[in-house]
Amino acid sequence: MSTPITLVLATRNQGKVREFRRILDAISQGTINLVGLEEFPLTTEVEETGSTFKENALLKARSVCSETGLPAIADDSGLCVDALNGAPGIFSARYAGVHGDDQANNLKLLKEIENIPEEKRGAHFTCAAALVLPDGREHVCVEIFEGSILFAPIGNQGFGYDPLFRPQGLAISSAQMSAEEKDLISHRGKSLRSIAPYVISLLSSLG
């Protein structure tokens, strides 16, 4: 393809847009022009009514594809804490009641597990990435990122629960990792690398 095909990422979270763009650019070699919903301010805010990450990712991608007429990719991701029976899970972004309030979410999580010992603070991130094309074709990939929850936030990189999450086998938090380091092992990095061949193949068929 000589002209990059526009792919809409179903989010207004600029941190997520930068992360997705960085990962896809490295894989697609300039064949995909990824844009966020800031380019489409009139799109409807999708209510995440699904019961799984996969269902919510598809809801968002289908809605954005329908409204923009362009291929759309969406993710639904969250933190699943063993001691909380998988919570906050699909409610991770609004765990404390307000969508996207990272500080409040982190404070609530720390409060919920303040008496849980280190060896029982296991957790993992899950990310479902969904691609939906205007012709109705769809593909979803789901990946996880294993680790544990720290007793206090550390680091200032990343976003969300990154300052509280220590990746398995490492002595630092996700928020102490460079973007490139995190991309290699994170749930979002892995799900995008998994879905990227389908993105490139399906978008190429539109050219």
Instruction: Quick: pLDDT tens for 49-62.
Output: 899 999 999 999 99
Looking at the 3D structure of the chain, how many domains does it have?
Answer: 1
Query: Looking at residue 149, what is its pLDDT?
Result: 98
Residue 9 sits in a domain whose CATH number is: 3.90.950.10
Tell me the mean pLDDT in the region 12-18.
80
Taking the C-alpha atoms of residue 84 and residue 205, their distance in angstroms, rounded to an integer, is 44
Give the residue with greater pLDDT, 63 vs 206: 63
Residue 192 confidence (pLDDT) above 90: no
Query: Looking at residue 159, what is its pLDDT?
Result: 85
Query: Looking at residue 108, what is its pLDDT?
Result: 97
Instruction: Quick: pLDDT tens for 62-117.
Output: 999 999 999 999 999 999 999 999 999 999 999 998 888 999 999 999 999 999 99
pTM of the model: 0.86
Choice among 43-47, 86-90, 143-147 with the minimum mean pLDDT: 43-47
Query: Looking at residue 66, what is its pLDDT?
Result: 95
Query: Looking at residue 127, what is its pLDDT?
Result: 95
The DSSP line for 60-105 is HHHHHHHHHSS-EEEEEEEEEEGGGTT-BGGGGGGTTSSTT-HHHH
Q: Indicate the pLDDT class of residue 171, thresholds 50, 70 and 90.
A: very high
Instruction: Say if residues 207 and 5 touch (Cβ distance below 8 Å).
Output: yes
Q: Indicate the pLDDT class of residue 2, thresholds 50, 70 and 90.
A: low
Using the 8-state DSSP alphabet, how is residue 7 labeled? E
Query: Looking at residue 16, what is its pLDDT?
Result: 77
Residues contacting residue 87 through CB under 8 Å, at least 6 positions apart: 80, 81, 95, 112
Q: To the nearest whole number, what is the mean pLDDT of the chain?
A: 90
Q: Indicate the pLDDT class of residue 1, thresholds 50, 70 and 90.
A: very low
Return the active site residues: 76
For residue 46, the enclosing domain spans 5-204
